[in-house]
Amino acid sequence: HRFLREDEDDEKDSSWEDKLASKYYSSLYREFAVCDLKHYKSGNFALRWRTEEEVLSGAGETTCGNTRCVHHSPGSGHKPSLTTLELPFTYSEHGETKSALVKAVLCKKCLDKMMWKRRKERTEKIENSEDKSQRRSDDVAEDRQPRRKRHRDCDVNEGSQRQRRRSSRSLSPTRRNST
């Protein structure tokens, strides 16, 4: 399967399946693409060209291009505002990475789904940079304050002898109870 075909393909040496696929590809209308946003949270979505039936009905051009949207079918009564996007679509075909600019028409809800991962990554990046700047400002504030020495074990002078006072965690449970 190929999303985009080149005219340089050898028609003579191709099999019956390749010829059939080429004939089907030539019957497609490649102005607008229809998409499936099922896996939008992972940033993956499927694109395909519209068929003749979809072109005649206006699906994907005068309606939302997401096949799973309630506004995709032309017969729906309410017409939402639509946005036309030109998407950079990168895909792998026979082990080779290819890219193409594809037009798609989406309603507001589907547009939010399409941009969901990008917006989430941006907000995470902003939050991470704010956390780092907050940590830096905290470090600067700590540098301004005199540092106190903290020790778990404290030395206590009792008379002329020096004893070491230990925290309760350093004693075994039996020794804790005996003292």
Buried b (16+ CB within 10 A) or exposed e, 23-35: eeeeebeeebbbb
Please check whether residue 65 is in contact with residue 86, taking contact to mean a CB–CB distance below 8 angstroms.
no
Residue 103: Cβ within 10 Å count: 15
Any idea what the Cα angle at residue 30 is, between residues 26 and 36, rounded to 5°?
115
Structure confidence at residue 156 (pLDDT): 47
Pairing of strands 154-158, 161-165: antiparallel
CA distance 8 to 102: 21
Please check whether residue 122 is in contact with residue 115, taking contact to mean a CB–CB distance below 8 angstroms.
no
Structure confidence at residue 92 (pLDDT): 79
CA distance 66 to 104: 9
Would you give per-residue pLDDT tens digits along the chain (179 residues)? 555 556 545 555 577 777 777 776 666 667 888 999 999 888 888 888 888 888 888 888 889 999 999 888 877 667 889 999 998 888 777 788 888 888 999 999 999 998 998 899 999 999 888 877 777 666 655 556 555 555 444 444 445 455 555 555 555 556 556 55
Q: Is the dihedral of CA 169, 170, 175, 179 positive or negative?
A: negative
CA distance 35 to 46: 5
Domain ranges of the chain: 29-113
